Amino acid sequence: MSANSSNAFPNATPVWFITGCSIGFGREFARAVLARGWRCIATARNKAALDDLAPEAGERLLCVSLDVTDPAQIAAAVAQARERFGAIDVLVNNAGYGYQSSIEEGEETQIRAQFDANVFGLFALTRAVLPVMREQKRGHVINITSVAGLAGFPGSGYYAASKHAVEGFSDALLAEAGPLGIKVTCVEPGPFRTEWAGRSLVQTPNRIADYAETAGARMQRTAEGSGHQPGDPARAAQAIIRIAEVESPPRHFVLGAFGVDAVAARLRAALADIETWREAGLATDFPAGE
């Protein structure tokens, strides 16, 4: 698959709106965009965290304070983007964080807070940007979900649920907005060497012994493996640039060997279930003619 920037971006310097740019993926995405000479709205809850992002970018970089759970800040950020650049070619919904616990030990306040950031905040920002893209008759919404958005793992049930929600939302968004020239991609990373486990992860400790070898063990591995993950965020950023440049980007883009293998195995297992139970499933329809 070759990049074709002339087809994907009518503007020589497309405008990217990227959330969660203080650390990790978001920061690497913004750096990669600016290194191409493109324009970028980089957001973070603490705008000061972006001061050293790319001082050489000048007027091509707009740094904005944005908590995606705050509707007023969303409206203000999109308004600033339109005022500065007049367009938004790519929206990268990257802001969010992880929450780990066993299902039974999950805390209601933590679960709801995660959905506010990972799901409802993403929904709200996308709604705010869609009028811009509809007016342009073009755009690309890139939602950073996770391998957990396609396959559940012990200890990550609520995180997976938040990412599954974004995947379903993205299917519907593409069906509605695709005919209007708006593309939709979900990026599903596996383990990457970001600050996710150290700074963007909340855990409810496992205290029920029955879950020690499932949720408890995986939560421990996640914490201990921080800094040793195989995925390279800078290479991921270049991969995102590549899919944004092509005329027909993928709906799903799984990153990293662990992710590709885990998702492929999960989908093969799902298809095997469907085929095994095909006749029983088909038999639940009314007979033909009734």
Q: CA-CA distances (angstroms) from residue 279 to 266, 268, 276, 289?
A: 22, 19, 8, 19
CA–CA separation, 24 and 97 (whole Å) = 11
Strand partners, 203: 100
- In terms of C-beta density within 10 A (0-12 exposed, 13-18 middle, 19 or more buried), how is residue 60 classed? middle
Is 159 in the active site? yes
CA distance linking residue 23 with residue 96, whole number of Å: 11
Q: With contact defined as beta carbons under 8 Å apart, do 21 and 53 qualify?
A: yes
Pairing between β-strand 61-65 and β-strand 39-44 as defined by DSSP bridges: parallel
Given the residues 99, 158, 159, 211, select the one marked as catalytic: 159
Handedness of CA 228, 229, 235, 238 (dihedral sign): negative
Task: Kindly report the number of other CB atoms within 10 A of residue 137's CB atom.
Answer: 10
Among positive and negative, which fits the CA dihedral 23, 29, 32, 38? negative
- Which residues are designated catalytic? 159
